[in-house]
Each structure stands twice: as structure tokens, then as C-alpha cells.
Structure 1
Amino acid sequence: MRVALLTYSTRPRGGVVHTLALAEALAAAGADVTVWTLARGGGFFRPVDPRVRLELVPFPDVPGEAVGPRILRSIALLRAAFRPHDFDVVHAQDCISANAVDRCVRTVHHLDHFTTPELAACHERAIVRPEAHVTVSSTVAAQLRAGWGIAATVIPNGVDAARFAAAVPLVRERPYVLSVGGIEPRKGSIDLLDAFAHARRTLPGLELVIAGGETLFDYRDYRTAWQARADALGLAPDVLGPVRHDELPSLVAGAAAFAFPSTKEGFGLAALEALAADVPVVARDLPVLREVFGSSVRYGHDPQSLGAALVDAVRHGKGDPALASSYTWEEAARRHLEFYGGLA
């Protein structure tokens, strides 16, 4: 079976991490897999199994380009390069790649609301046009059914649990709470500041570390508001930006707690990686996270309750390597191949 997996970037965002791990697991299961992507900033952020072919479509940076034109240019460049007739299955992993092809399967990782017209239209078309849909959680599948009458097949993500379980914890001067995903509205970054400030009243030696942040979108206004709130609270978080793939497990394993206050998620892969490293997780109380994590994490619904949960996690918490290990890419690949076989 010749499978094309399409994604929009080479940088370490959740959908890209999913695409590469799934591609490698499909190839290990015997599929002929090619990953197509826009080469934003060069090659992929990590080495890829040589059994997976890579098609990197050059995507040069245009200084000052707004989000809307960038979305349209992304779709046009990927559409012009892609060769659909070379494949039995075309599987798009995001709205840009789903808009770049005429027929595809689509994984809907999570649903969002955009105000940029081009992005809002991209998001809608990428839901209604695909011939079949996959979601990584039952919660997102229910949202698709309620909002669009679409029946999706649920195939959870895998987790590279062994990679995080084996990590040597990073040692820093002070214990730290870690958040991965950068500073943006969907990650609940401003709420995280208030939650951390609440926690630090009890644990004054605690530090906040924020990793990640590669994105297509322009969050400068939000980041300005975030910095103003940090200043008002007297906080100086250590904002690392993107972290090297081989350094991330140690950073995660060294954390006293992992903060996951996202306002929207489809699965929660980064938090499961923390659980694999035996690090306690504090998450926003969302139905999808209740579905995936159950009682393995602490929940909060606002900054005060998130902060209280952080204090409890740092003092008494632990991870859940068994839960993380229960989600495997091998099983995800098996279920995808079964799903692909049923498309005919």
C-alpha cells in the first residue's frame, strides 16, 4: 500500500510530531510511506527513519507576510508540488495540507476558531471536503458529529514512552515547572502565569520554564499581554524557545511538575511524555483530557485551582509511565492500515 502523509511544516509542532511517528510505524509495518511537507526552515527537526521517503517542498520566508497570504501561499505551493496519482491513500494531517489536495483522508487533531478569513475558510474546507476522517480522541469525534454530522474513526496517538522513561533528568539551580508549546492563546499561557504566581506563594524557590513555540501564526499582541502580566506579577519565566529533539526528554524528566493549562487540545501528547518520564502533570479540566488521562493527572479549571494543583504536584506528585506506555505507535499504525483497507 502506497501512503502519502501530508503535513504543513518541518518544525516540532504536535501535528508534525504525529506525522513522523505514524509514518515510521506504518513503514515498519510494511507500508510504502512518503511524507510530504513544506520545508519551513530546512529539513525536519529530527532524523527520520530511512524507510520513510521525504518530499520537502521549499517554502522560503517572506518578511512581513501576514497570516492570510501565508496560508494561501502554503496551500498553493504544496498543491503545485504534490503528485496524488502516485499513492493509494492520501492522508492530510492539518487544514493546509487538506486544502492542497482534491481527495484525501483527514486527521482532525482538534477543532479551533479563527478570525483570519483565509484561515477560517481553510479550517472549514479541511473539515467538510475530505472523504473520510480520523480523530485522535472520542471527544473530538463527538464535536465533529455534533457540529458537522461527520462520523470519524477514533485512533489515538502513540507515545514514545521509552525515550522519556530513559531520560537523565536535567539538573537546574532551582526546581522548575515546565510547560511545552510556547506562548499562545490555545496553550493558556497567561493563565499559567497566574497559576504559577499562586503556586510560588507557597513554593517561593520554584521556577517557570517554557519550551517550544514554533508556529505559523502571529501572536505578538498576545505575547505582549503575556509579558505585561508577567511583569505585573513580578515573574521572569525562562522562555527557551524551540528545544533540540535530543535535549527535550532530559528537560521534561528534570521538571518538578509539568503544566498543561491548554484551553483546547485533541489528545495531550506532550503531557503523556511527561507522565512517561514519571513527572506529575497538572492539566486544565477539559473533557478530552479527562478521556485520555483519567485520574493520572491533577486538574484545575482556573488559575487558582491550577496553582493549587501545581503545589500538590510538586510536593506529592508522580507520573504514570504505565498509562503513557499503553499508547503505542505500533497499535496506531495497525489501526490506520485497517482503516485504509476499509476505504476501498
Structure 2
Amino acid sequence: MRIALLTYSTRPRGGVVHTLALAEALSTRGHEVTVWTLARGGGFFRAVDEGVRLELVPFPDVPGEEVGPRILRSIALLRAAFRPDDYDVVHAQDCISANAVDRCIRTVHHLDRFTTPELAACHERAIVRPFAHITVSAAVAAELRAGWGLAPTVIPNGVDAARFAAAEPIPQRYPYVLAVGGIEPRKGSLDLLRAYALARRSRPDLRLVIAGGETLFDYRAYRAEWDRLALSLDVHPEVLGPVAHDELPRWVAGAAVFAFPSTKEGFGLAAMEALAAGVPVVVRDLPVLREVFGSAVLYGTDPPSLATALLRAADAPDEASRKSGRELAAAHTWSAAAALHEQFYRRILA
């Protein structure tokens, strides 16, 4: 099949990681796969297998541009460049790319609530306009059924478990809690800061490290609130910003505990990667994360319970849980995900 996978960025966000890994796995299965994206900041954050064709649409930065106009410009540029007649399957991975084409399959990774009018409209159109839907968990599928009357097919994420399992930990002079994804509302960053401050009372040697943070949105006000809270709590996290693709597994493998207090998720890929590295994981108690992780992680609902879980994970790592976590991550392969996508595409084409 001639397959176009569309995403909105070249930077290391979860949906972009998913798109590239799926493209490579489908290419390995003999399909002609092209990834279309807006070239935000240049090429992709990592090398892509030569069997996958890349179409990078230039997206120059406009200083001072607000989020709403940036969304509209993103859609317009991708729409103008895309060639739908070249493909048997057009598969969009996010609301921007789904708005840039007239007819597509859509993977809904998670559902958001936006207040910016352009974003809210983009989000709604990207759900109702596609003619077929995939989700990466049953919990998100249930949200689509309840809210829009849709019946999506569930195809779980794959995980590059071997890359994280083989990682050599970053040498550190102190144990640290690691969170990946930057500082933003959906990642529960303020709750993590409060939980860490509570945990630090018992473990003053424990540091907090934040990695990642490439995003389309403007979270400067939230980051300012986070900085004020850190100052008031007298804690001093280490904020790495975007981490090189080859370095991220080493930071994950070196963590005493991986924190994942997101308020919304579709699957939890970063947490699954931490399990692959054998690192104890603490997540927010969400239905989707209960579905995906079961007993392989520890749960919290608010800063005090998250702090308790962080301390338990850091003080007494459970070897049985680590083993089950590694096994869970290894069971989610991109090869299996690609095979299920192939079956889905063939049903649609038939």
C-alpha cells in the first residue's frame, strides 16, 4: 500500500515519536510509506530509516505570532503542500494534520479541552471529519463513544523497549526523580513540584530532573507559576530542556524513580519506556493508565499520595515489579502495532 502518515512537527513529542516508529515498522512490512510534517526547527529529532520517505513542509518562525494564527497557518501550509492522490491511505496523527486534508483516517491519541477558539475548532473538526478512527487505548475509545458516538478501533502503542533496556545510566552524584515532557498543564507539573517538595522532607538527597519540553503551545505563564511555586517551596529542580535522542534513554535508566503525573494521557509511552529501562514508575491514577499499566506501576491522585508513592519507589524498589514492568514494555512491539494497522487499512480499503 501507498501510505501517508501525517504529523505536525519534527520535534520529539509523543505523537511524532509514534508516527516515525509506525512508519518504519510499516515500511519493514513492505509498504511504501511517506511521513508528511511541518518542519518546525529543521529536520526530525532523530534519523529515520531510509525506507521511509519524508516530506518536510517549511514552516518559518514568525516572531510574536499567537497560538491561534499559528494553528491556522500550520493547517494552510500543510494543506497546500500535501498530495492526497498519491496515496491509498491517508492517516493523520493529530488535529492539525487532520484539518489539513479532506479525507483521512485519524488516530486520536488523547482528548483535550482548549479555550483558544482556533484550537477548539481544530480539535472538534479533527474528530468529526475523519471517516475512520483509531485510539491507542480503550479508555480514549470510550471517550469518543460517549462524546461523539464514534466506534474507534483500539491499536496500542509500540515501544522501543530494547533501546531503553540496553541504556547505560547517566553517571550522577545523587538519586533523582525524572519527568519527561517539559513543564505544562497536561503533564501535571505543578502537582509534581508539590509532591517532590513533600518527598524531599524525608529524602533531602533526592533531586528532581525535568527533561523535554518541545511544544507548539505557549506555556510561559504556566512556567512562571511553576517557577514561583518552586521558589516558595524552596526546591531547585534541574530543568534540562530538550534532550538529544541518544541521551534520553541514559537519563531514564539512571533515575531512581520516573514520575508521570499527567492529567490526560492516551497511553503513556514515556512511562512505558521507563519500565523498559527497569525504573520504578509513579503515575497519576487515571483510568487509561490503570488499563495500560495495571500493577506494574505505583499510583497517586494528588501531591500527598504522589509523594508517598515516590518515596516508596525510591526507598524500596520492588524487583518483582521491575521484572513485570520490563515484560510489559517488551510485549508492546511496533511490529505488532504495524500488523494491526495493516489489517485496519485493508478493511477500510475493502
Q: Secondary structure at the residue paired with 1:342?
A: helix
Q: 1:127-150 CA distances to partner (integer Å, 9 max, x unpaired)? A: 000010000000000000000000
1:270-309, aligned counterparts within 5 Å? 270-309=270-309
- Does the alignment pair 1:135 with 2:135? yes
Instruction: Return the offset for 1:316.
Output: 1.5
| Structure 2 portions without partners, runs of 5+ | none
Tell me the matched-pair count.
344
1:48-63, aligned counterparts within 5 Å? 48-63=48-63
Instruction: Return the offset for 1:271.
Output: 0.3
**How far apart, in 2, do the equivalents of 1:140 and 1:271 lie?**
17
In structure 2, the residue matched to 1:334 is 339
**How far apart, in 2, do the equivalents of 1:65 and 1:173 lie?**
42
- Aligned identity (percent) is 75
**How far apart, in 1, do the equivalents of 2:209 and 2:171 lie?**
13
TM-score (norm. length: structure 1): 1.00
Q: Secondary structure at the residue paired with 2:271?
A: helix
Q: 1:283-321 CA distances to partner (integer Å, 9 max, x unpaired)? A: 000000000000000000000000000000001225311
In structure 1, the residue matched to 2:85 is 85
Q: List 4+ stretches of structure 1 deviating above 2 A.
A: none
2:198 maps to amino acid: H
Q: Secondary structure at the residue paired with 1:210?
A: strand
**How far apart, in 2, do the equivalents of 1:325 and 1:120 lie?**
36
Instruction: Return the offset for 1:329.
Output: 0.2
2:220 maps to amino acid: R
1:88 maps to amino acid: D
Instruction: Return the offset for 1:326.
Output: 0.6
In structure 2, the residue matched to 1:174 is 174
In structure 2, the residue matched to 1:315 is 315
Q: Secondary structure at the residue paired with 1:37?
A: strand
Alignment RMSD? 0.5
2:303 maps to amino acid: P
In structure 2, the residue matched to 1:160 is 160
**How far apart, in 2, do the equivalents of 1:131 and 1:316 lie?**
49
**How far apart, in 1, do the equivalents of 2:30 and 2:199 lie?**
49
| Structure 1 portions without partners, runs of 5+ | none
Moved more, 318-327 or 267-276: 318-327
2:113 maps to amino acid: H
TM-score (norm. length: structure 2): 0.98
**How far apart, in 2, do the equivalents of 1:191 and 1:179 lie?**
12
**How far apart, in 1, do the equivalents of 2:143 and 2:236 lie?**
38
**How far apart, in 2, do the equivalents of 1:198 and 1:307 lie?**
6
1:103-252, aligned counterparts within 5 Å? 103-252=103-252
**How far apart, in 2, do the equivalents of 1:291 and 1:192 lie?**
22
In structure 2, the residue matched to 1:27 is 27
**How far apart, in 1, do the equivalents of 2:273 and 2:72 lie?**
34
In structure 1, the residue matched to 2:71 is 71
2:32 maps to amino acid: D
Instruction: Return the offset for 1:257.
Output: 0.1
In structure 1, the residue matched to 2:329 is 324
2:147 maps to amino acid: G
